[in-house]
Amino acid sequence: MIKTAVGLLAALLFLSGCGSTYTYKDAEKDGYVVAGAGPGQQANIEKLEQFYADFQNKVPSKVRIVHFTDEGDPVYLDLNSNGQDIQFTRDNSKDQFGGQDRGKKSTVCKQIIKRDEMSGDASGVEYDLKDCTDDIGYSDAESKEYFLLFLEDKK
């Protein structure tokens, strides 16, 4: 009985360590905009820039942004525009430290903003969503915005 329990426990530990870990390289290969995999590690940024341009020109478009937590867990941000509105879905269900707020949530936003910003000592461009119908966990509750991505200026 004890051998069976120990064997079962060992198998569970082994399988939990072999879970499907989605990495920065996987997201990059899948063609997603990648952010937060480390300082300066970003990929496929041109896809977010194209989405921004399409929205400004009222052209339907979609893009997926994948942020990685400090522990390496993916958080997915899906933007799907009909040319007038942006359906925004945030999925942090793979974030092991996401707490009670884990899961997939959506809202509709009227604006995507691109502005010059500072992040610590770095200057660059920040993308945010604004004028959204629902609060699904604003990044900035005071201005009711959702942070998408910060691009540090190239030196």
Query: Is residue 130 in some structural domain?
Result: yes
Instruction: Output the pLDDT for position 126.
Output: 93
What domain range is 106 assigned to? 21-152
Lowest mean pLDDT among 18-22, 24-28, 58-62, 76-80: 18-22
**Model-level pTM?**
0.82
Question: Rounded to the nearest 5°, which phi and psi values hold at 141?
Answer: -65, -35
Query: Is residue 9 in some structural domain?
Result: no
- Apex CA 49: angle with CA 47 and CA 51, to 5°? 70
Output the six-digit token pair for 91: 């999925």
Which tens digit of pLDDT belongs to each residue from 24-38? 899 999 999 998 656
Strand order in the sheet with 33-35: 33-35, 61-68, 74-81, 86-91, 104-119, 122-132, 145-152
Query: Is residue 126 in some structural domain?
Result: yes
Q: Please give the tally of structural domains in the chain.
A: 1
